[in-house]
Chain A
């Protein structure tokens, strides 16, 4: 009589009437349209392409006839642009160098935001950034840019020497340099990609879990059918919460990219 027996009892309880409930697995993110295996064209790739087209169309349309007295669309577009330009780029990088990086940061913010929001927008209902390939691609761009900016500004030797914060006693500079090197070249890109991926992945799994559990309860007895009501309410609440998380993660990704660029551009550490 042990834990295994108790767990066995629970298992029979949950499958007492009818077929068993299949909990969602990470396999729900693999949605091939054409082909099979690693090189398949997936739904996420399709919607990723659609997001680029959609953003380009909307932004070109709204900024084509820019006027001193803006239309409603231009006014909203400018508000969105100013949030990324002033709220992220200028605040993090400083008013001297930030203009060079505004196109990159604004593109990252808009693209990641739309791809995240696909997780709660009805025709898609699947965050494309929940596949690790998309966050890796975004991170590779940021990684190359901030190292390239730092090296082109200080030279390779100066950039590597500048990893150590100033004002340290000499004997501790070696170990700190190793730690800073690991932070700059391994930890930063790893966390940047995994934070976006992990949040989108976990959020989508949660929504799928609540919705599929509610749908499963509906096929069971009357007690379970009553139980499905709070389950669906919880699913709706999770969708709203995910909307918040999706915006926050797009903001955090852009903010961190800006702060890495700021660290590379700054004269002292």
Chain B
């Protein structure tokens, strides 16, 4: 079996963005639950925040493929 330590590193690096995405959608859901008519206003904001938090995970994916030797 072959492996690469950067795979473990990428796994660790996804924890931060995962928590961030969870927090963003938790805030979005509770916002809509309190004020359902604010949904069209909140939805693009939530997806924008999700995309920005996800960017960190994407950087990690790139660094996983960068050969270090």
Q: Does A92 contact B (CB under 8 A)?
A: yes
Which residues from chain B contact A251 at a C-beta distance below 8 Å?
47
- Nearest opposing residue in chain A for B50, CB measure: A252
Bound-state CA distance A256–B65 (Å) is 25
Instruction: Name B40's closest neighbour in chain A (CB-CB).
Output: A91
Residues of chain A contacted by B61 (CB below 8 angstroms) = 194, 198, 201-202
The residues of A that contact B27 with a CB separation of less than 8 Å are: none
Do the beta carbons of A10 and B1 come within 8 Å of each other? yes
A259: nearest residue on chain B (CB-CB)?
A: B48
Say yes or no: B44 contacts A194, CB within 8 Å: no
Within 8 Å of chain B (Cβ to Cβ): is A195?
yes
User: How many residues of A are counted as interface, with CB atoms below 8 angstroms from the partner's CB atoms?
Assistant: 21
State whether the Cβ of B58 lies closer than 8 Å to any Cβ in chain A: yes
B26 at the binding interface (Cβ < 8 Å): no
A195 touches B48 (CB 8 A): no
| Residue of A198, A201, A255 with most partner-chain B CB within 10 A | A198
Q: Which of A26, A91, A198 is in CB contact (< 8 Å) with B62? A: A198
Residue contact B44 to A256, C-beta cutoff 8 Å = no
The complex places the Cα of A26 from the Cα of B67 at a distance, in Å, of 14
Number of B residues whose C-beta is below 8 Å from A?
A: 17
The answer to whether A195 touches B54 (Cβ under 8 A) is yes
B12 CB–A CB distance under 8 Å: no
Closest to A91 in B: B44
B56 to chain A, nearest CB (A): 9
A255 and B58: CB pair below 8 A?
no
Q: A201 to chain B: which residues have CB within 8 Å?
A: 61
CB closest residue in chain A, given B3: A7
Q: How far is the CB of B37 from chain A (nearest CB, A)?
A: 15
- CB pair A14 B1 closer than 8 Å: yes
Does A244 sit within 8 A of B, measured CB to CB?
no
A195-B9 Cα distance, complex, nearest whole Å = 19
Do B51 and A252 have beta carbons less than 8 Å apart? yes
- Is the CB–CB distance between B1 and A255 below 8 Å? no
The interface bits of chain A over 1-21 (1 if a CB of B lies within 8 angstroms of the residue's CB, else 0) are 000000110110010000000
* Residue B55 lies at the interface, judged by CB distance under 8 Å to chain A: yes
The reply to whether A255 and B51 form a contact with Cβ atoms under 8 Å apart is yes
Q: A8: nearest residue on chain B (CB-CB)?
A: B1
What 1/0 flags go to B20-56 for Cβ under 8 Å of A?
0000000000000000000010001001101110110
Does A219 sit at the interface, judged by CB under 8 A? no
* Residues B58 and A11 in contact, CB atoms below 8 Å apart: no
